Chain A
């Protein structure tokens, strides 16, 4: 059972570089999400996609863009990385509905120097 798969697991960037974090789920979920986790701050929502073809900003969208490529895939792009974007990034997916639990990927540890 693959669940939610995100790549890469680790990445080091220099300030100003760009990169894309990939995420795919095989559970036929409509909704997908990108979170970042910082010490003492829990998980904060960057962007989400309630369904294929739609994306919306979350709590901390600045500096990021997303693409819902199809129902399975939801990518997060950093166009010009900044040290403030050093964080652990999690992709998640769920069925539609506020009562549905999130399924998480294993995370990407990103360092921006």
Chain B
């Protein structure tokens, strides 16, 4: 079974629209970390955020915000007032304390197209 599910394969929006990328995860661990990575057209994966399982506070960084809800096992990512430069593939990932090393479970990614 998929540990991390990103049900939205591709999303297209017009510049300045808000967009939310969904991430649902599955784990039996009580201690774990969730991550978001961005992969722009250049191909390299860029770290965006890390959140531990004990911190359910939402986080905002500029136009980016993340909503972590343990009750629904979700860690959704919202881009406010999207820009063309936000066009990329976004990956959600899970890392569990029960693993003896830093083993990431990645979702299949959501491709975001922001049109001018």
Which residues on the B side are within 8 Å of A90 (C-beta)? 45
Is A45 on the interface with B (CB-CB < 8 A)? Answer: yes
| Most chain A CB within a 10 A radius of its CB, from B9, B95, B107 | B95
Is there contact, CB below 8 Å, between A41 and B45?
no
Is there contact, CB below 8 Å, between A104 and B102?
no
Q: Which residue of B lies closest to A93 (CB)?
A: B102
Is A53 on the interface with B (CB-CB < 8 A)? Answer: no
Is B25 on the interface with A (CB-CB < 8 A)? Answer: no
B14 to nearest A CB, angstroms? 25
Which residues on the A side are within 8 Å of B4 (C-beta)? 42
A31 to nearest B CB, angstroms? 6
Count of A residues near B, CB < 8 Å? 27
Count of B residues near A, CB < 8 Å? 28
Contact status of A102 and B47, CB under 8 A, knowing A45-B103, A48-B103: yes
Contact status of A45 and B108, CB under 8 A, knowing A99-B33, A101-B47, A102-B47: no
Q: Which residue of B lies closest to A95 (CB)?
A: B102
The listed residue (B32, B50, B109) touching A101 by CB distance below 8 A is B50
Q: Mark B5-44, 1 if CB is under 8 A from A, else 0.
A: 0100100000000000000000000001101010000111
Is there contact, CB below 8 Å, between B44 and A100?
no
Is B97 on the interface with A (CB-CB < 8 A)? Answer: yes
The residues of A with any CB-CB pair to B shorter than 8 Å are 31, 40-45, 48, 50, 56, 58, 88, 90, 92, 94, 96-107
The residues of B with any CB-CB pair to A shorter than 8 Å are 4, 6, 9, 32-33, 35, 37, 42-45, 47, 50, 52, 91, 95-97, 99-104, 106-109
User: Apart from A42-B108, A94-B102, A105-B44, what are 15 other A-B pairs with CB-CB below 8 Å?
Assistant: A31-B102, A42-B6, A42-B106, A43-B91, A45-B103, A56-B101, A92-B45, A98-B33, A98-B95, A98-B97, A98-B102, A99-B102, A101-B35, A101-B50, A102-B45
